[in-house]
Structure formats: structure tokens, C-alpha cells
């Protein structure tokens, strides 16, 4: 085992203590994340080897469902406030996502046309 004391000291000297610390905890319980993904079907279908148009339709249905659920979550006052505190600039992205995300095709790709299990 080599002694990396000099390297460690050099690394540590690049940081200074600010005089305070912050402890953050998640606002939402993990059960809410589980609830958000409830009743989606695309993963199970893909794991069974589904591909093609059927997979695309199910994936798009799941994406719509998850988007609507996420929209309800981020519109809650306590979540909106927490997002603003965490990243004030995030609001611009959220506004775009609420209004224009689904209108564009940038999020689509051809992953659903084939299943890796086919190879």
C-alpha cells in the first residue's frame, strides 16, 4: 500500500470550510416515487420481448401518464417552492416542459423498434 499523504493534503487544501453546513432531506417520501410509476406497462412489455408499433404505443401511453402525474406533483405549492429554492433557473425549464415538451419530437427515438433480446 502506498502513502498518498502528500496527494491527499494537496487535494484537501483546495477546499476551505465555509463556517456552516447544510443538511438536506428529500421533501417527498419514497412511496410517492413508487406511486408515480404505478400501472406503467412499457418496461414489463419490453422485458417480455415486445417491440415495434405495439411497444411504441404503450411507451407513449406511459410517457403521457407519467408526465401528467409529474405535472400534478410539481404544481403543488410546497414542491414548486422547493424546486425554486433548489434552483431558481429551473423554473424556465419547467415552464417550457409544461407548454411545449410534448409538441416537439425531440424526445422520441427508435429504441422501441427492436428489442436487444432479438440480437
**Any alpha helices (H) in 1-119, and if so which ranges?**
5-13, 30-36, 42-47, 52-74, 77-86, 90-100
Segment 20-69, tens digit of pLDDT: 777 777 678 889 988 998 999 988 888 888 888 888 889 889 988 999 99
Q: Which helix (H) or strand (E) holds 74?
A: helix 52-74
27 is written with which cell numbers? 421533501
pLDDT value for 106: 52
**4 three-class SS:** coil
What span, in angstroms and rounded, lies between the C-alpha atoms of 79 and 18? Answer: 28
Segment 68-105, tens digit of pLDDT: 999 999 999 999 998 888 887 888 888 888 876 666 55
Amino acid at each position: 500500500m502506498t502513502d498518498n499523504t502528500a496527494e491527499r493534503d494537496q487535494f484537501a487544501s483546495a477546499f476551505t470550510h465555509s463556517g456552516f453546513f447544510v443538511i438536506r432531506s428529500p421533501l417527498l417520501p419514497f412511496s410517492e416515487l413508487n406511486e408515480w410509476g404505478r400501472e406503467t406497462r412499457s418496461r414489463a412489455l419490453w422485458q417480455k420481448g415486445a417491440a415495434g408499433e405495439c411497444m411504441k404505443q404503450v411507451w407513449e401511453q406511459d410517457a403521457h401518464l407519467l408526465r401528467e402525474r409529474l405535472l400534478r406533483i410539481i404544481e403543488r405549492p410546497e414542491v414548486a417552492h422547493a424546486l425554486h429554492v433548489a434552483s431558481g433557473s429551473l423554473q424556465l425549464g419547467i415552464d417550457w416542459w409544461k407548454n411545449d415538451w410534448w409538441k416537439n419530437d425531440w424526445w422520441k427515438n427508435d429504441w422501441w423498434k427492436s428489442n436487444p433480446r432479438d440480437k
